[in-house]
Copies of this chain bind each other. A is one copy, B any other.
Amino acid sequence: MEHREISRAVIKRLPRYYRYLGELMQEGVERISSGELSKRMQITASQIRQDLNNFGGFGQQGYGYNVKYLYHEIGKILGLDKTYNLIIIGAGNLGQAIANYANFERRGFVAKAMFDTNSQLKGKTVRGIPVYSMDDLEDYIRNNDVQIAALTLPKAGAEAAAKRLIKIGIRGIWNFAHTDLRVPDDVVVENVHLSESLMRISYRLSNQEE
């Protein structure tokens, strides 16, 4: 199925739709109109209909949208019908926190291994997830199915680690290092720059519109 290019803005909203639909499902709500969903999500009904129509007509005139159906359809669009194996580069606090966060697995993201240059961590496990030496990175990826790598190491090592990962075939990078990675077109990088997020708080606190 060929669909035209979806804008970045729409993609960014999809997981939020998915979350709200999941909640509605848990509440036992069977159907919802763009108007009702609009009230819940604090976005316009028009935007909801526009967004969903990027992927085809999920609704029905006079009825609205079937919650369960729409939830699963958006799940498929997001690629959540598949499982992704994840490795974590950098077994420090952040890396361990991610390894410990079992909830990601519910969505199909399974942490399989951690890697660290610090040989003292070698052999350690976090929630059953082993820490290996960075020396073993290529071997591990060759012998295991890995789709996504989380970079939870200091900025200084991030670019080099990314290069190795890309060379050996990884196409998804979840980058927590405070740097912009330069990668080929077919590699997906999703940045989580926590310090930038903090700075936006301080900006808004400092420049609070009265």
Contacts and interface: CB of A to CB of B under 8 A. Distances in A.
B201 A172 contact: yes
Contact of A97 (B82, B94, B197): B94
Contact of A197 (B19, B77, B79, B174): B174
Nearest to A18: B199
Contacts of A92: 100
A9 to B, nearest CB: 11
A168 B206 CA distance: 19
B171 A198 contact: no
Interface in A159-210: 171-172, 174, 178, 180, 186, 188, 190, 192-209
A147 interface: yes
Given A19-B196, A192-B197, A195-B15, A202 B84 contact: yes
Contacts of A193: 15
Given A172-B205, A190-B201, A195 B104 contact: yes
Given A93-B96, A178-B19, A202 B14 contact: no
B186 A198 contact: no
A148 B200 CA distance: 12
Interface in A56-115: 77-80, 82, 84, 92-94, 96-98, 100-101, 103-104, 107-109
A4 B206 CA distance: 15
A142 interface: no
Contacts of A186: 208
A200 B12 contact: yes
A29 interface: no
